Chain A
């Protein structure tokens, strides 16, 4: 079974803090994704990566950056957290057959 793990299930941070969200997958997939999910807005793509050290902006990259130093690990960074970044953050990994597998999510609250 594909396993996608995220570093935290729940996180509370203050405005202006730097926040790191980590995602690790154990299936050697090239493609990894970061989404945020908000009520009424569905899933929105923040960034994705198709190889080590490669990254592409999704639909809402502003305020975020990512890092992919190793194939199995994809990190999402909030350089200076703001209250409008309070959300559920989901990491996903994709097989060559386009099936996306999601991690359990990190619910981030920015005060």
Chain B
């Protein structure tokens, strides 16, 4: 799996958009970008994934640059409940069964 780099922490005001960046400069053509989050003492929660087109679902939007070397997860209206560690993962279909989480970004949503 390609290595990802994320800032260790970020703050966001409640109600504002949270933009979480991820660098994955060694991504290969068949690898997807996945985002998960983990709220304290709970299991990881799937958020969204994409290959090269931007994606949106009820939780978030995923913007992938044209060269695919970086992406941004956008929470359009952050709430206090969105305070969590957010993990960006890059993996392909033949990556086996391991899901490797790096350090992630600790997002603190403040009132």
Contact = CB atoms under 8 A, between A and B. Distances in A.
Interface stretch (A65-73, A78-86, A97-105): A97-105
B93 interface: yes
Interface stretch (B9-17, B20-28, B43-51, B61-69): B43-51
B92 to A, nearest CB: 9
Contacts of B91: 98
Interface range on chain B (Cβ under 8 Å from partner): 10 to 19
Nearest to B39: A104
Interface of A: 4, 31, 33, 35, 42-43, 45, 48, 56, 58-59, 90-92, 94, 98-105, 107
Contacts of B34: 99
B97 A58 contact: yes
Contacts of A56: 97
A63 to B, nearest CB: 19
Contact of A42 (B32, B36, B45, B102): B102
Contact of A100 (B46, B93, B102): B46
**In the A-B complex, the 7 residue pairs with the closest CB atoms:** A102-B43, A105-B43, A102-B44, A42-B101, A90-B43, A48-B97, A104-B43
30 contacts: A4-B43, A31-B97, A33-B97, A33-B99, A35-B99, A42-B100, A43-B44, A43-B99, A43-B100, A43-B101, A45-B98, A48-B97, A58-B98, A59-B98, A90-B43, A90-B44, A91-B43, A92-B43, A92-B44, A94-B97, A98-B91, A98-B93, A99-B34, A99-B46, A100-B44, A102-B44, A102-B46, A103-B43, A104-B42, A104-B43
Contacts of B102: 42
Contacts of B32: 98
A110 B102 CA distance: 27
A42 B98 CA distance: 12
Nearest to A56: B97
Nearest to B34: A99
B93 A107 contact: no
